[in-house]
Amino acid sequence: MKQYSKRMVTVHWLTLALLIAAWYLGDSLADATEDSKATLAGYITHIAVGAAVLLLTVTRLLFRSKDGMPPPLGQTAMDKVAKGIHHILYTVLFVLPVSGALTLVSGGAGKALLAGNANLLPKKDGYEHVFAHEVHEMLVTVLIVLVVVHLLGAIKHQFIMKDGLMERMVLRRKS
Ligand code: HEM
Ligand code: HEM
């Protein structure tokens, strides 16, 4: 096995696209809350995209255990760091949406959604003392930092080491 399975590759890149959307939607939602103008639709779209990330991550771990993965390219300390980052990424991809769900419950927006009443949504400073919200926000920052390090690693392999690592994560099959 020289490459990740096609479905692992598809989920990897789909997760990137969904994360960008969830980040943008979450940021817009936070801005709307600060203007006391958040809408139910704003919450529903953010939750739908965030929940899709969680679903994809669970599916991905199933695919990973069934399809296996290509053997590591090397055994250097950097390869071990990269592997560690992969594991932390999986953990954050799981815990981040869960912290979002806890924010909904403990911040009061869940009740507004169940009642279908936008007037009950948190207003300006409404999330100030909501612990789950702080965790959710912090995990977004952690995720961004990890993805940037992961991306820098991929760039180093592609342009400095030129060892074909990127080809392991593409749909086109190597003969
Ligand atoms: C991996 C997916 C997710 C990402 C990248 C993400 C990202 C974000 C971001 C950037 C914010 C704004 C934080 C701030 O600056 O205050 C936010 C807020 C929020 N997110 Fe998520 N989120 C995700 C999943 C979810 C899920 C699955 C839920 C609910 C089930 C959720 C519920 C919320 C809530 C309730 C807020 C507070 C809105 C506000 O501050 O007005 N998130 N999210
Ligand atoms: C930003 C652009 C990205 C590039 C260029 C990229 C590139 C790659 C490459 C080349 C691999 C294969 C590494 C290997 O064979 O050892 C990989 C694996 C991986 N990537 Fe990305 N990636 C990106 C974004 C992301 C994002 C956003 C996430 C999740 C938040 C992510 C999570 C992972 C994980 C967990 C693995 C390990 C797969 C496994 O062994 O199960 N990547 N990535």
Ligand 2 binding residues, C-beta < 6 A = 12, 15-16, 19, 64, 69, 86, 89-90, 93, 147, 150-151, 154, 165-166, 168-169
pLDDT, tens digit (0-9, with 9 covering 90-100), for 137-156: 999 999 999 999 999 999 99
Give the pLDDT band of residue 175 (cuts 50, 70, 90): confident
Q: Look at the block and give the residue holding tokens 């920052």.
A: 141
| Ligand nearest, relative to CA of residue 48 | 1
The whole-number average pLDDT for the span 98-109 is 98
Q: What is the pLDDT of residue 174?
A: 83
Beta strand ranges found along 6-154 (DSSP E): none
Rounded CA separation 117/160 (Å): 55
**Average pLDDT across the chain, whole number:** 97
Residue 104's pLDDT is 98
* Residues composing the chain: 175
Which residue matches tokens 């980052």? 85
At which residue do the structure tokens 């990424």 appear? 89
